[in-house]
């Protein structure tokens, strides 16, 4: 007998309640666009995104329960299912597609069309959902109690909290409103600088600083003190060890890829000229190391996935809670996308190449689904999977004669599809886990996920264009860490034009860090990013460290961090929304900045005030 046959969902299979309604779909689609845009903005700045499932569920409860006076947990679950698709699709897109904009800025290719970005995002998103559906029985149902699916289970707990929805939604909206005002005053009106820093003249090449922004504090709090400290350590190595060494030994020399004497370079120019390449090498090595470490799990998961594909358990079930999309529809959709990848010039591949894309997509979708079940979406090595795919795609295209800019664009397009496949498959599995616990209808969730993918794919191209036009990728404003690194890798394989000495330095630093048993990816991302970003993230991590050390029962401590997580999710969303608004104003050349600006020390005081508000929000007792 199946060990999970006795599991009873919150809403029984024989009970019909509102679920896939106009209200839930509309709210979900709006949140998909909002969280997709906010996470694209955040990810391009700090190199990581945050899960949107819980804040989407909480906002949904605030709207549906409190404002509309409706009472359906399955409607709320549908909203978070659709809404979280935007965040996951944005995560996959920003790790790869900005590379196309970087080449366009260099004059190597034309700027990618909105249609091209839409097709890459759409194909990746739809394939991610299609590949995950047959795995639901094996991963969600049969391994219930074995695979924890942290975010999916946590989201179900939030939904089951029921009547608390109003107060929890208020916490998210408080954070959203505070961050929106803060960001508008700091970076819109420019009444106080959002970044403060000081370059040490007696220690050439180094510069201490911090970006005093709500989203960074939010990321630090959500990631926790450990991950934040790893990023901070990576930034410290780059800005207080490597850059001073380059300045000390470089002197007046002009060293490739720099174009002027090192002695004439400011710390930010040193970062742009050299540290970005070292950091990119470390990020690439970190991605590969994470794949190697999970290889036995990958093989085991792939075998299980192949077995599960041969039978779609829910296709012919009469129970509402066991119905999945029909296997014939899934296979037909996959076949149509494979043919489209072959025929559309964006993907310069033959039929065998299109088949390889689909096979790799299914492989990484199955791996991603199990990985998030074990360690959660935040630790899912999506960028590592994208790196592996990108290297293989570039080598295959070069070997088959598709070289130059055509080959480079093709490799990024293929890498983009696979990256989005992995991200969406992981998100879908978390959503289906939430649905399994609360008693949702799987087929309706799967349709909702596809709707979220389509709307997010339509909007992500405009967001990418907007952010590039406002600030430009690869700059201090938008470092686009993973995409810049992907660009370097493809160029290096195609043209052998890279400063391999710098990249290999990063690779071996990552290996040393791994030997010391420090998580490589956060350390490597910290190496790549400006120190001021890592410092801002560390500030949020420090608040969580303090909150977790204050005495109280395990339940009280969990409630504190839960309140903090909801509040900081609002901070991230609020800043992301205003960041997009400011990008629009920048592109339209509307200047709203005031002539008056407070001194740097007051910026620090204001940021400390924000951190104190976050602390107080965590310690506040629910009524």
| pLDDT digit string, tens, across residues 211-257 | 999 999 998 998 889 989 999 999 999 999 999 999 999 989 998 88
What region, left, alpha or beta, does residue 498 occupy, with left being phi > 0 and alpha being psi -120 to 50 degrees?
beta
**Which of 28, 33, 37, 122 is CA-nearest to residue 80?**
28
Most confident of 302-311, 423-432, 522-531: 423-432
What region, left, alpha or beta, does residue 518 occupy, with left being phi > 0 and alpha being psi -120 to 50 degrees?
beta
Question: Is 13 in contact with 19 (CB distance < 8 Å)?
Answer: no
Question: For residue 467, is pLDDT > 60?
Answer: yes
pLDDT digit string, tens, across residues 578-614: 988 989 888 888 888 887 778 889 999 999 999 999 9
pLDDT digit string, tens, across residues 87-109: 899 988 998 999 999 999 999 89
Cα 48 from Cα 215, distance rounded (Å): 12
Cα 326 from Cα 446, distance rounded (Å): 11
Question: For residue 70, is pLDDT > 50?
Answer: yes
Cα 259 from Cα 254, distance rounded (Å): 6
In the structure encoding, which two tokens stand for residue 71, read together? 């009472």
Q: What is residue 376's predicted lDDT score, i.e. its pLDDT?
A: 66
Please report which residue ranges of 184-294 form alpha helices under DSSP H: 214-237, 243-250, 267-270, 276-293
Give 24's pLDDT tier (boundaries 50, 70, 90): very high
What are the C-alpha distances in Å from 271 to residues 175, 196, 464, 524, 533? 33, 17, 24, 14, 13
Question: Is 288 in contact with 384 (CB distance < 8 Å)?
Answer: yes
Q: What is residue 574's predicted lDDT score, i.e. its pLDDT?
A: 87
Q: What is residue 623's predicted lDDT score, i.e. its pLDDT?
A: 55
Cα 270 from Cα 260, distance rounded (Å): 10
Look at 12-21, 26-35, 308-317, 571-580 and tell me which has the smallest mean pLDDT.
308-317
Q: Which DSSP symbol is given to 478?
A: -
φ/ψ (deg, to 5) at 206 = -100, 155
In the structure encoding, which two tokens stand for residue 604, read together? 């620090």
Work out the mean pLDDT of the chain and round it to a whole number.
Answer: 86
Question: For residue 328, is pLDDT > 70?
Answer: yes
Cα 306 from Cα 312, distance rounded (Å): 12
CB count within 10 Å of CB 378 equals 16
pLDDT digit string, tens, across residues 161-212: 754 545 677 888 899 899 999 999 999 999 999 989 888 888 999 999 999 9
**What's the rounded mean pLDDT across residues 411-420?**
91
Cα 327 from Cα 311, distance rounded (Å): 8
φ/ψ (deg, to 5) at 207 = -155, 125
Higher per-residue pLDDT: 384 or 181: 181
Q: What is residue 614's predicted lDDT score, i.e. its pLDDT?
A: 97
**Block residue for tokens 């900081």:** 568
In the structure encoding, which two tokens stand for residue 444, read together? 């309706």
For residue 207, the surrounding DSSP H or E stretch is: strand 207-211
**Block residue for tokens 């007998």:** 1
**Which of 20, 36, 212 is CA-nearest to residue 117?**
36
Question: Is 429 in contact with 369 (CB distance < 8 Å)?
Answer: yes
β-bridge partners, 147: 144
Helices (H) and strands (E) in the chain, counts: 24, 2
Angle, vertex CA 306, rays to CA 304 and CA 312, nearest 5: 95
């Amino acid at each position: 007998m199946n060990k999970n046959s006795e599991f009873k969902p919150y809403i029984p299979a024989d009970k019909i309640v509102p679920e896939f309604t106009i209200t839930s779909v509309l709210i979900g689609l709006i949140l998909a666009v909002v969280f997709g845009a906010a996470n694209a903005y955040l990810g391009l700045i700090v190199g990581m995104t945050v899960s949107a499932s819980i804040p989407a569920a909480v906002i949904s409860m605030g709207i549906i329960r409190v404002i509309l006076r409706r009472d359906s947990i399955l409607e709320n679950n549908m909203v978070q299912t659709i809404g979280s698709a935007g965040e996951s699709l944005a995560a996959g897109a920003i790790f790869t597609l900005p590379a196309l904009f970087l080449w366009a800025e260099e004059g190597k290719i034309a700027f990618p069309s909105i249609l091209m970005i839409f097709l890459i995002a759409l194909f990746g998103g739809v394939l991610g959902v299609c590949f995950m559906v047959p795995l639901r029985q094996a991963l969600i149902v049969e391994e219930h109690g074995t695979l924890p699916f942290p975010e999916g289970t946590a989201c179900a707990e939030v939904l089951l909290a029921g009547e608390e929805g109003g107060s929890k939604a208020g916490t998210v909206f408080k954070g959203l409103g505070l961050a929106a005002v803060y960001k508008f005053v700091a970076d819109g009106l420019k009444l106080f600088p959002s970044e403060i820093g000081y370059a040490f003249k007696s220690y050439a090449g180094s510069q201490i600083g911090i970006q005093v922004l709500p989203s960074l504090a939010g990321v630090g709090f959500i990631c926790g003190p450990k991950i934040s400290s790893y990023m901070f350590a990576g930034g410290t190595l780059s800005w207080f060890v490597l850059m001073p060494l380059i300045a000390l030994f470089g002197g007046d020399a002009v060293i490739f890829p720099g174009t002027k004497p090192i002695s004439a370079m400011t710390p930010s120019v040193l970062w742009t000229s050299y540290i970005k390449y070292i950091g990119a090498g470390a990020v690439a090595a970190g991605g590969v190391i994470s794949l190697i470490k999970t290889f036995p799990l990958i093989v085991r998961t792939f075998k299980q996935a192949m077995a599960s594909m041969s039978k779609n358990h829910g296709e012919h079930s009469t129970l509402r809670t066991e119905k999945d999309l029909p296997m014939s529809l899934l296979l037909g959709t996959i076949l149509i996308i494979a043919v489209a990848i072959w025929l559309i010039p964006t993907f310069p591949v033959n039929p065998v190449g299109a088949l390889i894309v689909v096979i790799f997509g299914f492989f990484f979708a199955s791996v991603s689904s199990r990985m998030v079940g074990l360690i959660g979406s935040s630790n899912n090595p999506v960028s590592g999977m994208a790196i592996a795919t990108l290297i293989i795609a570039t080598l295959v295209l070069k070997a088959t004669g598709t070289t130059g800019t055509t080959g480079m664009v093709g490799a990024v397009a293929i890498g983009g599809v696979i990256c989005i496949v992995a991200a969406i498959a992981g998100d879908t599995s978390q959503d289906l886990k939430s649905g399994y616990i609360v008693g949702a209808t799987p087929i309706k969730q799967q349709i909702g996920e596809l709707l979220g993918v389509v709307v997010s794919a339509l909007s992500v191209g405009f967001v990418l264009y907007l952010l590039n036009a406002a600030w430009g990728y690869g700059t201090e404003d938008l470092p686009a860490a993973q995409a810049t690194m992907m660009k370097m890798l493809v160029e290096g394989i195609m043209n052998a034009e890279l400063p391999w000495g710098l990249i290999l330095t990063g690779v071996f630093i990552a290996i040393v860090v791994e030997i010391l048993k420090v998580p490589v990816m956060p350390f490597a991302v910290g190496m790549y990013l400006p120190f001021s970003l890592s410092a801002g993230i560390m500030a949020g991590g420090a608040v969580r460290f303090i909150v977790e050390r204050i005495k109280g029962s395990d339940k009280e401590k969990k409630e504190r961090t839960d309140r903090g997580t909801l509040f900081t999710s609002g901070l991230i969303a609020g800043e992301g929304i205003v960041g997009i608004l400011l990008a629009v104003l920048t592109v339209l050349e509307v200047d709203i900045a005031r002539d008056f600006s407070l001194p740097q020390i007051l910026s620090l005081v204001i940021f400390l005030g924000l951190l104190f508000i976050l602390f107080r929000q965590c310690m506040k007792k629910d009524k």
